[in-house]
């Protein structure tokens, strides 16, 4: 008949023999899931499964379309629309105003706004007739004023009385003069009126005097006409030298 060993005796016996029984874990009744086991495995181990992102899952049977990237907004700035002024929209008034301004500037540039420097001589004594192009008026008026200050009687077309026919007044004054002076420039030689005055003075055997304000190319006929006439090239002289020379060639009887 076997006698049952007590618990203490059993433990002592097992310690001597070296057989120690591992404590048995109680099962919780729930099996370890495969997913949890797979998640604990290293990423590089075989058989490991990676979970797909939720966005990759198909929703129902329809395939999800990829969204197209939004188009970039243009960085080019639009220029603000110019507001048209009333004058510009009208067109014609603006053009007229610009044309009038341009004409006024041109007139001022050629001396059109220069007032007559002295009173033109109208008496019966000998006088000097001055011929010039109106585009040279600004410079010529300075010379006429200086000649008048030197004591000479001078007639020029600014002395024509309003209402008198211009060619008749010019012709009468030229025929009555004692000496004829022409201020020569490319503009004056191109003027038909000036050429007519030269021809009349030459045909009437007037005492002709030519003052070149600029270097001017003369035609063959004009060179033949003025070949024996006394000429002064002012553009090559100083003012003092010019007036001294002019004083020598002007007739003394036209001096006051």
- Residue 198: phi and psi, rounded to 5, are -65, -45
pLDDT at 175: 96
- What integer is the mean pLDDT of 152-163? 81
Name the nearest CA neighbour of 179 among 223, 124, 137, 126. Answer: 126
Query: Per the structure, how many domains does the chain have?
Result: 1
- For residues 118 and 145, the answer to whether their CB atoms sit within 8 Å is yes
**Residue 220: CATH number of its domain:** 3.40.50.10140
Q: Is 82 part of a structural domain of the chain? A: no
Token pair belonging to 3: 């006698």
- Measured CA to CA, the distance from residue 147 to residue 153 in angstroms comes to 8
Residue 98 has a pLDDT of: 64
Range of weakest confidence among 63-77, 114-128, 132-146, 198-212: 63-77
**Which candidate, 155, 166, 167, places its Cα nearest to that of 125?**
155
9-43 pLDDT per residue, tens: 555 555 555 554 555 555 544 444 444 444 454 54
Report the half-sphere exposure of 140 (CA within 13 A, side-chain side).
28
Work out whether the CA dihedral 41, 46, 47, 53 comes out positive or negative: positive
- What mean pLDDT, rounded, does the chain reach? 74
63 falls within a domain? no
**How far apart (Å, rounded) are the C-alpha atoms in residues 210 and 166?**
23
- pLDDT category at 195 given cuts 50, 70, 90 is very high
Tokens describing residue 251: 């007739």
142, containing H or E segment: helix 137-149
Q: Can you give the pLDDT at residue 159?
A: 63
* Predicted local confidence at residue 166, as pLDDT: 82
- Residue 146's pLDDT band, with cuts at 50, 70 and 90, is very high
Percent of the chain, pLDDT > 90?
46
Residue 116, domain member (yes or no): no
Q: What is residue 227's predicted lDDT score, i.e. its pLDDT?
A: 86
pLDDT for the residue 187: 96
Tokens of 123: 């008496």
Please say whether the beta carbons of 130 and 181 come within 8 A. yes
For residue 213, the model assigns a pLDDT of 97
By the 8 A CB rule, do 156 and 184 touch?
no
pLDDT at 8: 53
Which of 30-44, 76-90, 159-173 has the highest average model confidence (pLDDT)? 159-173
* Residue of 160, 161, 137, 141 whose CA lies nearest to 149: 141
pLDDT of residue 78: 60
Is 27 part of any domain? no
- Average pLDDT for 205-229: 93
The pLDDT of residue 148 is 96
Angstrom distances, CA of residue 81 to CA of 77, 78, 94: 12, 9, 21
Residue 5: inside a domain? no
Is 162 among the domain residues?
Answer: yes
DSSP 55-98: GGS-BTTBPPPPPPPPPPPP-PPPPPPPPPPHHHHH-HHHHHHH
d(C-alpha 213, C-alpha 239), whole Å? 12
224, part of any domain: yes
Domain that holds residue 237: 128-254
Does residue 237 lie within any of the structural domains? Answer: yes
User: Backbone dihedral region of 147: left (phi > 0), alpha (psi from -120 to 50 degrees) or beta?
Assistant: alpha
């Amino acid at each position: 008949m076997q006698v049952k060993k007590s618990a203490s005796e059993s433990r002592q016996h097992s310690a001597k023999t070296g057989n120690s029984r591992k404590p048995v874990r109680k099962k919780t009744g729930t099996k370890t899931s495969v997913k949890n086991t797979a998640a604990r495995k290293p990423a590089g181990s075989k058989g490991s499964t990676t979970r797909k992102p939720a966005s990759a899952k198909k929703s129902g049977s329809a395939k999800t379309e990829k969204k197209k990237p939004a188009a970039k907004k243009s960085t080019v700035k639009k220029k603000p629309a110019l507001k048209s002024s009333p004058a510009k929209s009208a067109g014609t008034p603006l053009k007229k105003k610009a044309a009038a301004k341009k004409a006024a500037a041109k007139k001022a540039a050629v001396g059109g706004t220069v007032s007559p420097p002295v009173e033109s001589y109208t008496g019966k004594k000998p006088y000097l007739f001055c011929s010039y192009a109106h585009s040279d008026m600004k410079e010529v008026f300075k010379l006429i004023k200086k000649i008048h200050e030197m004591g000479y009687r001078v007639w020029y077309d600014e002395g024509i009385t309003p209402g008198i026919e211009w060619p008749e007044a010019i012709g009468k004054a030229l025929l009555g003069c004692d000496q004829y002076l022409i201020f020569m420039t490319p503009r004056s030689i191109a003027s038909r009126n000036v050429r007519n005055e030269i021809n009349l003075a030459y045909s009437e055997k007037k005492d002709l005097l030519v003052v070149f304000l600029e270097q001017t190319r003369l035609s063959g006929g004009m060179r033949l006409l003025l070949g024996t006439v006394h000429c002064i090239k002012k553009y090559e002289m100083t003012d003092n030298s010019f007036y001294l020379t002019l004083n020598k060639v002007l007739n003394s009887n036209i001096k006051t």
